[in-house]
Amino acid sequence: MIRQFTSAEFFFLVSAVRWTLLLSAIAFVGGATLGLVVALARTSPWQWLRATAGAYILVFQGTPLLMQLFLVFFGATMVGASVDPLAAAAIGLTLNAAAFLGEIWRGCIQAIPKGQWEASTALGLHYVTRMREIILPQAAKIAVAPTVGFLVLLVKSTSLASIIGFVELTRAGQIVNNATFRPFLVFGIVAAIYFALCWPLSLYARHLEKRFGTVSR
Amino acid sequence: MLTPAPADSTPAGERPVMIRMAGVEKYYGTYHALKAVNLDVHQGERIVICGPSGSGKSTLIRCINALEHHQGGEIVVDGTQVGKSSRGLDKVRAEVGMVFQSFNLFPHLTVLQNCTLAPRKVRGLAPKEAEAIAMKYLERVRIPEQANKYPGQLSGGQQQRVAIARALCMAPKVMLFDEPTSALDPEMVKEVLDTMISLAHDGMTMICVTHEMGFARQVADRVIFMDKGEIVEEGPPATFFANPKSERTRTFLGQILHH
Ligand SMILES: Nc1ncnc2c1ncn2[C@@H]1O[C@H](COP(=O)(O)OP(=O)(O)OP(=O)(O)O)[C@@H](O)[C@H]1O
Ligand SMILES: [Mg+2]
């Protein structure tokens, strides 16, 4: 029995946006936290730590996000832990985002001139102080624009969580489409909503790039 | 203000040794950058190092505060071995100030913050104390009025004077200078050299890599000439410039003194 596409269906779609946003937020906060660790490991003085972080990045950048979500979701089920789809998607996206943010931020850290390291080392500052007071504040300026740019990608990536059954915007679209059988209309609206979420972020990223694009020296 | 000047009557060579480099070897990969370098620097002594590009001058002074790690021989700074323990390394770095060719001020911090950071974090001074010391040295390099500006708002000469003040705020026992005036416009060289000269007159132990031979003549106790990773020749400026012993030194001096 095919239903009509009414305002109820429309609001069902719109209300699913909060799950997309929630998942994006969790993955971003988690990914940023873990990503900072990855970036610091990648730029650390210890070879084994750099190699470990490098392997992590290689694996998560080199395999499809969808497979990572599957592995987290079904992997957890296999060991007997029942994860709900939100948790599985959040974990998968966090691990993935950490690899990408880690790599972006590694570049930002390494873009800080060697003289800054040398001057702070020569002053007797220790690694933690050097990082916190000298390197990271300068790297952060360069990092904001590409980080917001990555956030746009992350919001769109959350649509893959639909495949493991998490009802975010895309999954809501599939549900509505199954009932109304108006794919073009439904997915057109879904796409438009994603666009409405991402476009301001893209604009913001471009604005930030203009503002921080050149590091003040 | 600084380390009290050693009694001028004591010749530099008879004062205690501040830095001892004995048979120091340094490799970059397979490239032999320092070859059996021996150098004793006494308290209050002013050394000028010169030599052609790539001869190892920077490498030599960067080994003293372990910005580069040496592989053979030993370096002892004020009784502490460099490279033996990380505690020793901390001690050496806290006591050795360094000034770079490219200033290397922290662009996101004000001049005052540049000067107070290490005293606060390394020496554990309270912010007020650190600021008082910073202002003292900023006055010393004659730019106290720039304290709240950012490095990017200063001229090159001013930036280099801030860099000197920043190093002095740690009350170092030794100051290392790596071509401090080479990146400066000619009209700013003098203000930096004057700062260094006044530092020398206060009895600071200094090692300066520089091609400013006027400065060497005026303040150096010893001039050292390096070539291909070796100390080729050394001596007081009067004899060094008047009667260089080695052919390599003569060639080098001929090049830099007549251009
Ligand atoms: N990090 C490094 N890796 C490899 N080789 C290096 C490194 N640093 C310096 N070298 C090499 O070691 C040699 C000595 O370099 P150093 O910087 O000490 O010379 P310098 O006398 O200071 O020269 P300049 O007057 O150009 O500053 C050079 O041949 C240089 O190419
Ligand atoms: Mg050099």
Pick the CATH number of A7-211 from 3.90.870.40, 1.10.3720.10, 3.50.50.60, 3.30.70.1400: 1.10.3720.10
For residues A77 and B191, the model is more confident at B191
Atom of ligand 1 nearest to the CA of B57: 21
How far does the CA of residue B118 sit from the closest CA of chain A (Å)?
A: 6
Residues contacting B188, CB < 8 A, separation 6+: B155, B156, B157, B160, B181
Least Cα distance to B16 among B140, B185, B179, B174 occurs for B174
Domain locations in chain A?
Answer: 7-211
* Minimum CA distance residue for ligand 1 atom 18: B56
Tell me, in angstroms, the distance from the centre of ligand 2 to residue B59's CA. 7
> Could you say which residues of chain B have pLDDT below 70?
1-9, 259
Which tens digits make up the pLDDT trace of A177-210? 999 999 999 999 999 999 999 999 999 988 888 8
Model pLDDT, residue B9:
61
**Alpha-carbon span B169 to A122, nearest angstrom:** 13
Under the banding of pLDDT at 50, 70 and 90, the label for residue A38 is very high
Which tens digits make up the pLDDT trace of A97-134? 999 999 999 999 999 999 999 999 999 999 999 999 99
Model pLDDT, residue B4:
46
Tell me, in angstroms, the distance from the centre of ligand 1 to residue A126's CA. 25
Model pLDDT, residue B8:
56
Q: List ligand 1's pocket residues with C-beta within 6 A.
A: B 28, 31, 33, 51, 53-59
Under the banding of pLDDT at 50, 70 and 90, the label for residue A2 is confident
**Alpha-carbon span B250 to B232, nearest angstrom:** 11
CA A112 to chain CA centroid, Å, is 24
Q: Do B105 and A119 touch (CB under 8 A)?
A: yes
Q: Strand B174-178 relative to strand B205-209: parallel, antiparallel, unpaired?
A: parallel
Model pLDDT, residue A60:
97
Model pLDDT, residue B3:
44
Residues contacting A66, CB < 8 A, separation 6+: A160, A163
Enumerate the residues of chain A whose CB falls inside 8 A of the CB of residue B67. Answer: 118, 121-122
Model pLDDT, residue B5:
47
Q: Do A138 and B108 touch (CB under 8 A)?
A: yes
How far does the CA of residue B41 sit from the closest CA of chain A (Å)?
A: 19
ipTM: 0.91
Model pLDDT, residue A111:
96
Model pLDDT, residue B10:
75
B67–A contact, CB cutoff 8 A: yes
One-letter identity of residue B189: V
Least Cα distance to B67 among A40, A48, A123 occurs for A123
Interface test with B, best of A123, A141, A144, A217 (most B CBs within 10 A): A123
Q: Do A121 and B93 touch (CB under 8 A)?
A: yes
What is the DSSP code (8-state) at residue B244? Answer: -
Q: Do A122 and B65 touch (CB under 8 A)?
A: yes
Count Cβ atoms below 10 Å from residue B221 Cβ, excluding itself: 18
Enumerate the residues of chain A whose CB falls inside 8 A of the CB of residue B108. Answer: 137-138, 141, 216
Q: Edge-to-edge strand order for the sheet containing B72-77?
A: B31-42, B17-28, B72-77, B80-81
Q: What is the mean pLDDT of residues A54-62?
A: 97
Model pLDDT, residue B11:
76
The answer to whether residue A172 scores a pLDDT higher than 50 is yes
Enumerate the residues of chain A whose CB falls inside 8 A of the CB of residue B122. Answer: 123-125
Tell me, in angstroms, the distance from the centre of ligand 2 to residue B104's CA. 15
Enumerate the residues of chain B whose CB falls inside 8 A of the CB of residue A118. Answer: 67, 100, 104
Q: What are phi and psi of B215, to 5 degrees?
A: -60, -45
Search chain A and give the residue with CA nearest B109: A134
Interface test with A, best of B95, B104, B137 (most A CBs within 10 A): B104
Least Cα distance to B197 among B182, B217, B183, B211 occurs for B217
A with B: how many residue pairs have Cβ under 8 Å apart? 63
How far does the CA of residue A133 sit from the closest CA of chain B (Å)?
A: 9
B166–A contact, CB cutoff 8 A: yes
How far does the CA of residue A188 sit from the closest CA of chain B (Å)?
A: 46
Model pLDDT, residue B1:
42
Search chain B and give the residue with CA nearest A129: B121
Instruction: Check: CB of residue A165 under 8 Å from CB of residue A211.
Output: no
Under the banding of pLDDT at 50, 70 and 90, the label for residue A92 is very high
Residues contacting A100, CB < 8 A, separation 6+: A31, A35, A60, A61, A150, A153
